[in-house]
Structure 1
Amino acid sequence: MAPKVIFLMADYGHDPTVHVPTHCPSHRSGLLEAAIPWKVFGEAGFDITFATETGKQPVCDSRMLTGWTGALLGAPKVAKEAYKTFSQDSRVQNPASWTDPSLKLEDYDLVFLPGGHDKGVQQIIDSPRVHELLAAYFPKTARPSTKSLVAICHGVQVLATASSAEDKSKSVIHDVQTTALPGFMEQSIFYATWPFLGDYYKTYGAGTDSVQEIVTKRLDSPSLFKNSLSPSPFVVADPKYNYLSGRFPPDAELLAQKAVAMVKELTGSS
């Protein structure tokens, strides 16, 4: 039986690409935080499901795909073509609903949380229902287990914001090694684009904590947050849980490949 993976997404705002800050030698990435894992999981033969709040088709951040912002800061042509193919998948067009009482993450082998900085992703970051689902599921990824979870960028913030079912004062990943979007990268692109985009690159507005700060505050120790400012792909694997995390789109392909290898090993699938 093919491993089952579910993508939990907001209706709008997930990031299809990224403009890498000027301190990095690579200026732009065509890796898509949802579409690239979708492609890698599909090629691996996984049974893929998408879920949004009410079953509405998820739409990625249009400012990264169209207009002058898409041309200067967003996805290159190859990435836009990949996203077009992704958005035409019937599974993307007909997602499940994560508010459906019958939805249980335990029915899946892998839960995937993509990122995105547009303010629309507040829908999933702040959702009590998503927090409830993750609080029930994440402890089941503790080794030894066949269940696993993978998150990237703001997807890690979704997970960090979810409180443990056993101790509401703690995050479900309070004792977990993780990465997420580095604060330096987030602040760099925010300040570089502020004159013409305002607080577009800050999900909760100017002056709010970075993703790194939000996640780190929910960990038992700051040392559990693993950081890298390298443009090379960077993926963190926690030693106690079947949990992988990435920072931003340049990590997406390696993250998905490692997820496939992990799930196949855990489930015994070929």
Structure 2
Amino acid sequence: MPKILFVLTGSDHWTLKDGTKHPTGFWAEELLAPLEVFADAGIDVDFASPQGKTPVVDEGSLAPDAIGEEESVKQREALQALAGRLESPLVLADVDLDTYDAVFVPGGHGPMEDLAVSDDLGRILVTMLDGGKVVSSVCHGPAGLLPATRTDGSWLFAGRNLTAFTDVEEEQAGLADKAPWLLESRLREAGATFSSGEPWAPFVVVDDKLVTGQNPASSTEAAQKVVGLLT
């Protein structure tokens, strides 16, 4: 049976360009929705983070005025059920990649702080994708694609078709003018072939064994595409 490594941010903040720390973490839906898809498919998952730090949920992702009271309660209960596993993730640098068939990187702004500069994640992605395994990510999770360079200095995802949280969505979310950099722009500058759909609507790009989703609403479909590649 396939097994997936979830790489989660270990950061509880994103440092804005004025030096202030914006509270964040991982986005609840981008963890929970894929987990549900993978569980339904009978696929096991492990969690890992930089230095094995306990991941923190972005409270904004659970706000009742954003997702509704019922959904907020449901997601909090689901996170509470996962608390024991989330408290002690694997140390990213020590992960045995032979154990896994895919890697999945959820978003939230946390990855913009730590995964975007994680050499350990970069090494893992190079090993996985060049080894014919599945690399998948959603929303701000593709920030973690940035440090994936091969030994010759080339970027792993140069010329690859992908998507991520767009500059327009960042503007609409109210953080674009405070951000030290924008994810879509950075991915384009690095050499990705970037495409996107309507803001906040589901949009997923599959390029061989690379699966990326644009925003939280894309989480379920992205996970379904991963299942399709693994089964």
CA contact (8 A) 1:41 1:260 kept: yes
Contact 1:156 1:245 in 2 (8 A): yes
* Residue aligning to 1:9: 8
Q: Does 1:58 align with 2:55?
A: yes
Partner of 2:186: 214
> Take 1:112 and 1:87, find their aligned partners in 2: how far apart are those partners?
21
Equivalent position of 2:108 in the other structure:
116
Structure-2 separation of matches of 1:40 and 1:249: 14
**Is residue 195 of structure 2 the alignment partner of residue 226 of structure 1?**
yes
- 2:134 maps to which of 137, 142, 148: 148
Q: Rg larger in 1 or in 2?
A: 1
Q: What TM-score results when the alignment is normalised by the length of structure 1?
A: 0.73
Distance in 2 between the 1:57 and 1:75 partners? 27
Give the corresponding residue for 1:137.
Answer: 128
Q: 1:57 to 1:87 in 2, by over 3 A?
A: farther
Superposition pairs for residues 85-234 of structure 1, below 5 Å?
Answer: 85-89=78-82, 90-100=84-94, 103-118=95-110, 121-141=112-132, 147-159=133-145, 161-168=146-153, 170-190=154-174, 201=175, 206=178, 208-219=180-191, 224-229=193-198, 231-234=200-203
* Root mean square deviation, CA, Å: 2.2
Q: 1:60 to 1:263 in 2, by over 3 A?
A: same
Rounded to whole Å, the distance in 1 between the matches of 2:138 and 2:191 is 17
Mapped to 2, the partners of 1:63 and 1:230 lie a distance apart of 18
- Offset of residue 74 of structure 1: 5.7
SS at match of 1:84: helix
> Quick check: 1:235–1:244 contact (8 Å CA) kept in 2?
yes
SS at match of 1:33: helix
| Partner residue, 2:17 | none
CA distance in 2, matches of 1:91, 1:172: 30
- Counterpart amino acid of residue 52 in structure 1: S
- Normalised by the length of structure 2, the TM-score is 0.84
Following the alignment from structure 2 to structure 1, what is the Cα–Cα distance between the partners of residues 73 and 226? Answer: 24
Contact 1:182–1:229 (8 Å) recurs in 2: no
Shift of 1:85: 1.5
Cα gap change, 1:41/1:74 in structure 2, threshold over 3 Å: closer, same or farther?
A: same
Q: Determine whether 1:36 maps to 2:3.
A: no
How far does the alpha carbon of each residue in 1:216-260 deviate from its partner, in whole angstroms, 9 at most, with x for none?
11116xxx211111544211111xx31111011111111111211
In 1, Cα distance between equivalents of 2:139 and 2:119: 20
| Residue identity matched to 1:14 | F
Note closer, same or farther for the CA distance 1:82–1:234 as it changes in structure 2 (3 Å cut): same
Q: Which amino acid aligns with 1:15?
A: W
Aligned to 1:260: 227
Question: Alignment partner of 2:47: what SS?
Answer: strand
The 8 Å contact of residues 201 and 215 in structure 2, kept in 1 or not, is answered as no
> Where do 5+ consecutive residues of structure 2 fail to align?
13-24
Cα distance, 1:129 vs. partner?
1.8
